[in-house]
Copies of this chain bind each other. A is one copy, B any other.
Amino acid sequence: MTTKAARNTTENVSHADHSPGTRRRLLDAAAELFATRGYRSVAVRDICERACANVAAVNYHFGGKDKLHAAAIEHARERALREDLAPAASTPAGPMTPQQKLHRQLHGMFSRAFANGPAGWYMQIVLREMVDPSPALKQTIDDNIAPYLRKLEAIIGQLLRQEPDSHAVKDLVSCIVATAVYFQSCRASVEHLRPGFAFDQPCAERLTDLMTAMVMHTAAPAA
């Protein structure tokens, strides 16, 4: 921290271009590995090997594995915003029905959860965090998960004509999140239980439709 403060006083421009890339490479490697394997399963040595950096670099640039994890989340979030999967669908122009809003939210979640490459890292890290918590679990939840779930609760509460914090609404949201978490964190089990299961975008569409239909049917059940 003293080094960073000294750097900022002398050269306040940007530390991004001053760092010869090691910091950035560490963030990319960390985001990818944390997304695919979770916090505990990834060793600092793994990240440094992939980033072609020395093991001491993590502590030098970030101050520890936990700090790197937090920084990787923010890094992945920015990358996801920049190179989004479906930027075209971001302006549907016009008011959406609650069902459309729901489908849109769920599609955003599942398509990112099943994405390959940097665009999916953020969602995948955050989903992993729920089953394999880092030391900053509560912070991650408050900053990244809770806001998203509140949006879902609002939409589903509207559809069900119930309070967004009722058990009925929150149970549905939990079921949706659970499904995303499951395919993210139980990949080995799913591959053994459902050989040939494809973790791809068509699958994401299928699950999006299933979850949307589940909510809609719960809101307006059959006779």
| Interface of A toward B, CB cutoff 8 Å | 40, 129-133, 137-138, 141, 145-146, 149, 167, 170-172, 174-175, 177-179, 181-183, 185-186, 188-190, 192-194, 206-207, 210-211, 213-214, 216-218, 220-223
Q: A141-B189, A145-B193 are in contact. Are A172 and B130 (CB under 8 A)?
A: no
Q: A137-B192, A170-B194, A175-B210 are in contact. Are A131 and B186 (CB under 8 A)?
A: yes
Most buried by B among A130, A131, A137: A131
Interchain CA distance A149-B186 in the complex, whole Å: 15
Given contacts A175-B182, A221-B222, 14 further A-B contacts (CB under 8 A): A129-B189, A130-B182, A149-B193, A174-B179, A175-B175, A175-B179, A178-B181, A178-B183, A181-B182, A213-B218, A214-B217, A217-B217, A217-B222, A222-B222
CA–CA, A171 and B213, complex, Å: 13
**What are the 5 A-B residue pairs with the smallest beta carbon separation, nearest first?**
A178-B182, A217-B217, A130-B189, A222-B222, A178-B178
**A216→B131 CA distance, assembly (Å):** 29
Give A188 Cβ to nearest chain B Cβ, in Å. Answer: 6
Measured between beta carbons, the chain B residues less than 8 angstroms from A181 are 178, 181-182, 186
Q: What are 17 A-to-B residue pairs whose CB atoms are below 8 Å?
A: A131-B131, A131-B185, A131-B189, A137-B188, A146-B193, A171-B206, A172-B210, A174-B183, A175-B175, A175-B179, A175-B210, A178-B179, A178-B182, A178-B186, A181-B186, A213-B218, A222-B223
Task: Kindly list chain B residues whose C-beta atoms are within 8 Å of the C-beta of A214.
Answer: 175, 214, 217-218
